[in-house]
Amino acid sequence: MLFGAHISMAGGIDKTPANAKKIDCEVFQLFSRSPRGGKAPELTKEVVKSFKAEMKQNNQQEAYIHTPYYINLASTNNRIKDGSVEVIREELDRASVLGIPYIMTHLGSANDLTREKAVKQVILGLKKILIGYKGTSLLLIENSAGSGNVIGDMFEEIGDIIQGIPKLLRKKVGVCLDTCHAFASGYDLRDKKGVSKTLKEFDQKIGLKNLKLIHLNDSKTEIGSHKDRHEHIGFGKIGQAGFKELINYPKLKYVNMILETPNDETGSQESDLKLLKRLRK
């Protein structure tokens, strides 16, 4: 189990490993393009070579790509829906070129469709992304906080979506579990009993074998709030005791964990990382 945080790509993708090392990351996450839109920066041979060299130089074991915020595979707007398919596929290809093992994405929101139709459309979009894909990176579905009509807040729904993907394509798919989102969706992570129950349900509905990465975020809001409000580890409603249980859960021993906490008056990613490493020991 290795710990890291989301790192800014300011200055270029090949600068991210050094920035990750500055706050003592062991692994890290980044955007490979602007999360709000626009064309992705070109990955020239020089940039790719520099990125891989910087990974080694700065002792970063792995990096992960988060897709942009605007992804919505459940949209009835063809420009958004088809654009989401195109961007996710591009990110998979870019990750493969960089030697990055996982990209993670949210699925979108079913604002103009019934839930059933939206889920079917999401599955169709995932099929389009994966058909003909020959890269090495896996596509991770990230659970949502469940606000509005957002897809993927409940484990059962994520499990159904994965099962809806043809078996030959399914091997390219996994899951990224966000603790704040899970808590906001009603899954208790505050103590040993809650952690155990939640992960057993995850195993039943999705399968722990599919859990490839965890986003470690405390929650500013109460359980079941359906609000995506990240807080520093131990300062939110999940609390330090819950994270200690999660980190030391035996079946998560080899699952790496990424912080998406803010840098503010309460704390920093660097201080959160120090706490996590103490809890891991």
| Domain total of the chain | 1
* Helices then strands, each counted (H, E), the chain: 10, 10
Domain containing 64: what range? Answer: 3-280
Query: Nearest-CA neighbor of 13 among 25, 29, 2?
Result: 29
Strand blocks (E) in 145-187: 173-178
Which residues of the chain have a pLDDT value below 70?
none
- Residue 125: predicted pLDDT: 98
Instruction: Quote the DSSP letter at residue 109.
Output: B
CATH code for the domain in which residue 50 is found: 3.20.20.150
- Residue 38: predicted pLDDT: 82
Helix or strand run (H / E) with residue 56: helix 45-57
Q: Distance from CA of residue 168 to its chain's centroid?
A: 23
- Residue 196: predicted pLDDT: 98
- Residue 148: predicted pLDDT: 86
Q: Taking the model in full, what pTM does it have?
A: 0.96
- Residue 86: predicted pLDDT: 97
- Residue 233: predicted pLDDT: 97
- Residue 281: predicted pLDDT: 77
Q: At what angle do helices 115-130 and 78-98 cross, to 10 degrees?
A: 40
d(CA 143, CA 100): 21
Residues 6+ apart with CB under 8 A from 197: 188
- Tokens (6 digits) for 33: 């393009």
Beta bridge partner(s), residue 150: 109
